[in-house]
Chain A
């Protein structure tokens, strides 16, 4: 397979990726696009830290700073962290459960293209009249007040990516329910699959409230409704509720798959089965469940009253229990094991103390009266970077190194990996530890500058230096990736040597149909069991025969492009109209906007119609082709 792929021309490779429904290629699309957005969000972070390096700095103007800050948060959450997690979910979950693809390959492709187009749409705001500037939370009163189309880019861009995320969530749940190989019971699924399942359930329940919230905001700004306009009876607190009913589960949507990645890594590089597997599964489900009952802890200072504050305070504290269970189980996994300090394992080990620190400050904030002090101060900035960077980003970097051979059949350089690990982790603590104190000393978050003489100077400079260490680490990582891709040194099956779960039983690169024969699963850590009992050979659950695979399709790309076009129509439709909010009605009118909107929607709906109209029965991979592949692998193996 590899050799034929290399012979293909450039454009046919592009076409292949535009039309692919293969979860492994979609994973690569998520990885590339999410990686690019991660770099953009990182550059924005550097701009923020540069501006805040010294007091009264004028490197960025106040308005531009707010745009950078908003785009940093929005990009990192929606366009970097989540897609990168989707990359690893796509790369691993079908392989871990013994499936040849996901349940809805077409929708999988639709999900990635909606995300990419939504992300591009959002970022085009930089060059099309200004980026959103009301923070990633985009609280209604400020968002309504914000001049220009920045907030509209935010709203429509997130709406498009949001559809993609929702579709991917549905797809993963269905895949995990229906596509498991024989013997792969729920309680034999690897933790990565479990956390993907729970995170996907959270997506399905958390994203619709955001969709509604954003619709309310769009309608208010562009179409003259009055959900958030107090003069006509509106109420801006509705936005805060809808946003955080989404926003809090979103935190768990991010952290749970990272937990999954870490669980795999701990057990692999300790050469030991995950301690307390069923407790881990239970804790995952419990965290997901609690995740929906605590949203108002983001709103302790809104004035919801002591009863609401007290209830949400207690509920929030309760989440610490299942999270604690997880931490102790990981330590117990390492305990008595045989630890190999590979780069992914280093990230996983660094994650434990870092994340515990982020977790305990979270519990501190659950104490509502104390949170009146922490809220919207740099303490919060420190806290959520400790969980999001110390948890999610460490997880992504660990996953990147760990799953790289599975995705590309090459290994990232371990020496460079360890150098960038050391720099990143040190830089991370230097940047964010000190910010706890800044917050306690009274520095509010989201300030574009601070005054001299308030005692914030040194701490901010330290923080900026740390940020640049992290930037350097990312640059070294990029060098590592470029070198690895250029050298293209192929590795064979089970490159880490201690693979336990099903995905490592596959030859590398993984054939496009994943499994020549669907495997039979005999327990948790399916591959490890066969290593002990069957010399590393998976038992087949079916005889070698023709099997069914889905067709590629360009329609997902076109459907997403249609929404992308329609987005511009909707955005410019409101310009200069008397019904729109003041900030938008001052802009020049665009009479063509309505046609752009209609054209875009027609493209989308007609493509959907075509999809529904045509029979798409897929195709068959013949027994002969599979046998050929198997022979070739054997020759390669010798």
Chain B
């Protein structure tokens, strides 16, 4: 067994290709632990935001209730939730050893993510025009830091998935590439879950 078999023939394609190799299994556990760390990272951000969300220097500064448009946030949520679903489809096809469909769904995921990102940028520009900026108040700082960190995660995820689509285009599906795709999908789900919390804690609680 000089060479480990990464290119498993389709009749022996495992039902969980992402953890079929030892490296894949490590990656699977390691990434979950990483996400645990990310969870505390965002928990700290949420705590900071909750502590500062009503802190503005004067009465003329806008607060959450004056700013947020739930409709927009809802549309953004839909974009991200749907992209999470499409990444599930991609992983499903990966497990069925269907490379082209997996690539397709990954592509759709990226497009939906881009849609979310453009809406978020549009939203930030709107707020900036209203005078709600990173530097205008402690509320502003906390708001942009929380959403900005999430947004940066989205950007990172988009670049990551796009790179995977391109790099795997020639290599095809193997237990080696499957682990990579699965990890990226996990990351994407995590970003999505964080957004659900943002939607609840920042937008819903802010408007109520």
Contact = CB atoms under 8 A, between A and B. Distances in A.
Tell me, yes or no, whether A and B come into direct contact in the complex with CB atoms closer than 8 A. Answer: yes
B141 A208 contact: no
Interface stretch (A234-242, A317-325, A339-347): A234-242
Nearest to B48: A238
B44 A212 contact: yes
Nearest to A213: B44
B52 A238 contact: yes
A179 B30 CA distance: 12
A6 interface: no
A355 B6 CA distance: 52
B142 interface: yes
A545 B1 contact: yes
Interface residues of B, number: 44
Contacts of A548: 4
Contacts of B45: 212
Interface residue tally on A, bucketed by range: 35 or more
B62 to A, nearest CB: 13
A235 B138 contact: yes
Contacts of A231: 57
A591 B56 CA distance: 32
Contact of B145 (A170, A174, A219, A242): A219
Contact of A209 (B30, B40, B171): B40
Contact of A233 (B26, B139, B164): B139
Interface in A211-232: 211-213, 215-216, 219-220, 223-227, 229, 231-232
A225 B48 CA distance: 13
Contacts of A107: 30
A178 interface: yes
B82 interface: no
Contacts of A620: 2-3
Contacts of B52: 227, 233-235, 238
Contact of A613 (B33, B37, B140, B167): B167
B137 interface: yes
Interface string A53-93: 00000000000000000000000000000000000000000
A234 B38 CA distance: 24
Contact of A170 (B33, B135, B136, B137): B33
A235 B51 contact: yes
Interface in A239-292: 241-242, 245
Interface in A323-379: none
A166 interface: yes
Interface majority SS on A: helix, strand, loop or mixed? Answer: helix
A177 interface: yes
A234 B135 contact: no
Contacts of A166: 37
Given A229-B138, A234-B52, A612 B176 contact: no
A205 B139 contact: no
A454 B2 CA distance: 77
B37 A242 contact: no
A232 B61 CA distance: 10
B122 interface: no
B137 A232 contact: yes
Contact of A242 (B33, B44, B57, B167): B44
B29 interface: yes
B30 A235 contact: no
Which 4 A-B residue pairings sit nearest by Cβ, starting from the closest? A233-B55, A233-B138, A208-B41, A225-B141
Given A205-B36, A216-B145, A620-B2, 7 more contacts: A169-B37, A219-B134, A225-B145, A226-B138, A226-B140, A234-B138, A548-B4
8 contacts: A178-B29, A209-B41, A219-B134, A223-B134, A223-B135, A232-B57, A233-B57, A612-B163
Interface of B: 1-4, 6, 22, 25-26, 29-30, 33-34, 36-38, 40-41, 43-45, 47-48, 51-52, 55-57, 134-142, 145, 160, 163-164, 167, 171, 176, 180
